């Protein structure tokens, strides 16, 4: 059975990020390319971090999804350059993060020199207040920092820019 590139992209939209399950891997912007050569489908992925522990799980989820859809010959390629950036996330992904209780990235790598958000620049995803403080540079995963809102007092993860 032959599949089109459009179908493959649709199948990939069904693969969720294991660390942020409200996002699929396309919204996260880690799938760089889909190549179809004869009966082989190659998916090129750029991990969010070169040492991201979720990379192997994401690759397995891609392989299983494509096999489930009838594609037997799957090749996965991890491309580390150019490095992934939060700029590759869709605007919808950033809105989903906020609705899920994770503050989305504040800066854009392409037009900001300082990628480290200052505490009062990270709005609380719960109440919208800008009165927040950094609790720890590391949150529930390496790609997030832990903040707390000084108004509603709720802790929350901030998806760090990179």
Per-residue confidence (pLDDT) for residue 116, from 0 to 100: 52
Can you list the positions of beta strands (E) in the chain? Answer: 31-37, 40-45, 73-78, 102-103, 132-136, 144-149, 155-159
Ordered structural domains, the chain, with CATH: 5-78 (3.30.300.130), 91-159 (no CATH)
DSSP SS3 for 133: strand
pTM, whole model, 2 decimals? Answer: 0.87
Could you tell me the mean pLDDT of each successive run of 10 residues in the chain, 162 residues long?
Answer: 92 96 96 95 92 91 98 95 92 95 80 51 93 91 91 95 76
């Amino acid at each position: 059975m032959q599949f089109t590139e459009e179908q493959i992209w649709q199948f990939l939209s069904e693969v969720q990020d294991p660390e942020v399950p409200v996002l699929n891997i396309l919204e996260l912007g880690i799938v760089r390319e889909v190549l179809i050569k004869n009966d082989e489908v190659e998916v090129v992925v750029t991990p969010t971090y070169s040492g991201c522990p979720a990379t192997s799980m994401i690759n397995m989820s891609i392989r299983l999804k494509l096999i489930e859809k009838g594609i037997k010959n799957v090749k996965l390629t991890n491309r580390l350059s150019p490095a992934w950036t939060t700029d590759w996330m869709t605007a919808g992904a950033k809105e989903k993060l906020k609705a899920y209780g994770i503050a989305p990235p504040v800066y854009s790598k392409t037009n900001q020199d300082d990628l480290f958000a200052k505490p009062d620049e990270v709005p609380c995803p719960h109440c919208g207040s800008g009165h927040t403080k950094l609790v720890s540079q590391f949150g529930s995963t390496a790609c997030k920092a832990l903040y707390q809102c000084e108004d509603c007092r709720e802790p929350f993860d901030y998806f760090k820019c990179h």
